[in-house]
Amino acid sequence: MKRIYVPADSTALAMGADEVAEAIGTEARERGLNVEIVRNGSRGLYWLEPLVEIDSPTGRLGYGNVEVEDVALLFDAGFPDGGVHEKALGLIEDIPYLKKQQRLTFARCGKIDPLSTDEYIAEGGLAGWRRALTIGPNATVEEVLASGLRGRGGAGFPTGIKWRTVAGASAEQKYVVCNADEGDSGTFADQMLLEGDPFTLIEGMAISAFAVGATQGYVYIRSEYPHAYGVFRNAIMRARAAGWLGENALGSGVAFDLEARLGAGAYICGEETSLLESLEGKRGQVRPKPPLPALQGLFGKPTVINNLLSFAAAPWILANGAKAYADFGMGRSRGTQPFQLAGDIARGGLVELALGVTIRQLIEDFGGGTRSGRPIRAVQVGGPLGAYFPDRLLDTELDYEKMAAVKGMLGHGGLVVFNDTVDLAAQARFAFDFCAKESCGKCTPCRIGSIRGVETVEKIIAGRNAEANVELVRDLCETMTDGSLCALGGLTPLPVISALDNFPEDFRDRPRMARAAE
């Protein structure tokens, strides 16, 4: 039977993949063709969705931006046996966007049926977990430490050190918690993996649990990702049915089970201590540190809390060895990062590459510049708490230290491209406004400072005492940076100050009075 792949990834659905899958099914039936439609994840080449693939003797062939109206013509042209059609892309793996990537964590994404345990194993799944079981918990922790893996949520803390701390704590119950509260605009890697290769996350968490002696895991998924939540819950059930979860997980003799929990629309719950509070059934308010979650985390027990991308890197590291992973990257930033290209971008999608690639290489070589055709004016890197970069800084390498040196941060690896119509004063206002809306309210600089920030930037936009008010904003940012308990209040100044420093012209001589207080 011919296999036809149509992604069921939610972004592909947003581009019409369900309708295309249905049309292909109908057309095949009418033509009396025996086909199997596989709902794979996305390859991350989102600008080509719905991206339909078929098998061929030389590899998978792709058809990009397939619309319902194209389906009959595709079959006329010889589909699903190939054939010439204007939407044919040739061999998927030869598309430069994909071919030039270094897919480690996302190697299987888009290739396999995300919910098939057999296909997962056939594509190298479980090799990391099995190796961990062979080398034992201590060696597993050391392996992750030696790989140089750092927290992919943005903070960049060495993952192996976290694991070692939890492993060294003695307690009857320990937990592993996955932060899949991917709230940063411009990021979608968590969603893509949850929907396209969920077993990788399950395996990564199982490896971590084995390494530190935890028996229960939680995955906290944001409610804005209803589809990902559904797919992942299904994946957990299948993993349990396959014996990967339960009292004797993967025949290891040790127990490990997993539960997916849904967030409730609070950005702050992406902050680790706030996430733990939320999992415990409380308001998502930030906890002071210490105590570290590694020692007193979920329900007061030692807890590994990692970003989804950190856990998802573990299976590859264990399967291929720490050195192989550390061979990617530069300086103290080892391994790969799934970068995400967003905003006004011609070829938006996920690009996994070794750390150290420049912003320009990503948005020009891969992204192809703006979709609108207008010139690029600013690129925000690292989500709502990341800096806005002007053209002269686009050759900065994406590595934790290099980004910090230009007063930015890598965050979750999202890059949002803005064209020349962007008003950076309006973006600075938005940064404060977002902080005001999403602040948990625990500390004053964040709760009140953000509101004062909105008001002051509005004065600047209205052209009132711009110079003095810019000074006031800088002063306020200093207070927020130094006086906030967590990264929301502490990093909101990052986009604001970068806008002031890199685009000062947007804050002076403002003639656009009307735009002031919307």
Partner 1 sequence: MMSREPWDAEEARGLIASRRDEPGAMLPILHDLLDRYGYIDDEAIPLIAEALNVSRAETLGVVSFYHDFRRAPVEGALMKLCRAESCQAAGCEDLVAYLVARHGLTVDAHEGGPITIETVYCLGHCAVSPAALLDGHPYARLTREKIDVLVAKAKGRPQ
Beta-bridge partner residues of 416: 342, 380
Cβ-based nearer residue to partner 1, 109 or 126: 109
Residue for token pair 């998802």: 312
Our CB check for partner 1 shows the closer of 12 and 141 to be 12
Tell me whether residue 172 or residue 509 sits nearer to partner 1 (CB atom): 172
Determine contact, residues 110/7, Cβ cutoff 8 Å. yes
Neighbouring residues of 325: CB distance < 8 A, sequence distance ≥ 6: 104, 147, 148, 149, 313, 316, 317, 334, 335
Q: Which residue has the tokens 């550390």?
A: 326
Interface with partner 1 (CB under 8 A): 10-11, 13-15, 46-47, 49, 182-188, 190-191, 223-228, 261-267, 278-285, 299, 340-345, 348-350, 371, 380, 383-384, 414, 416-419, 422, 427, 430, 434, 438, 440
Strands 329-330 and 333-334: antiparallel
* Run of H or E residues at 419: strand 414-419
76 vs 420, beta carbon nearer partner 1 = 420
Q: What is the DSSP string of 263-285?
A: --S-GGGGSHHHHHHHHTTS--P
243 contacts 201 by C-beta, under 8 angstroms: no
Whether the Cβ atoms of residue 418 and residue 344 lie closer than 8 Å to each other: yes
Cβ closest to partner 1, residue 416 vs residue 457? 416
Q: Which is nearer to partner 1, 147 or 380 (CB)?
A: 380
Nearest to partner 1 of 221, 357 (CB atom): 221
CB of 22 to partner 1, least distance (A): 14
Preceding peptide of 291 cis, ω within 30°: yes
- Parallel, antiparallel, or unpaired: how do β-strands 216-221 and 257-262 relate? parallel
Closest to partner 1 by CB, 28 or 431: 431
**Residue pair 256/245 in contact by the 8 Å Cβ criterion:** yes
Distance of closest approach, residue 425 Cβ to partner 1, in angstroms: 13
The residue among 75 and 220 lying less far from partner 1, judged by its C-beta, is 220
- The distance of closest approach from Cβ of residue 161 to partner 1 in the complex, given in angstroms and rounded to an integer, is 27
Return the number of other C-beta atoms located less than 10 Å from residue 169's C-beta.
18
Q: Which CB atom, from 117 or from 380, has the smaller least distance to partner 1?
A: 380
Helical spans, DSSP H, in 395-518:
400-405, 424-438, 444-447, 449-461, 466-483, 487-491, 493-502
Closest CA to 72 of 117, 121, 28: 28
Least distance from partner 1 to the Cβ atom of residue 259, Å:
9
* Residues 320, 323: Cα–Cα separation, whole Å: 8
Residue 157 CA: distances (Å) to CA of 109, 161, 247: 26, 8, 32
Q: Minimum CB separation from partner 1 for residue 487, in Å?
A: 16
Count of positions (residues) in the chain: 518
Q: Cβ of residue 207: shortest distance to partner 1, in angstroms?
A: 23
Nearer to partner 1, 28 or 440 (CB): 440
Contacts of 308 (CB under 8 A, 6+ apart): 152, 178, 179, 180, 182, 189, 190, 193, 194, 201, 219
Helix (H, G, I), strand (E, B) or coil at 390: coil
The Cβ of residue 172 has, within 10 Å, a number of other Cβ atoms equal to 6
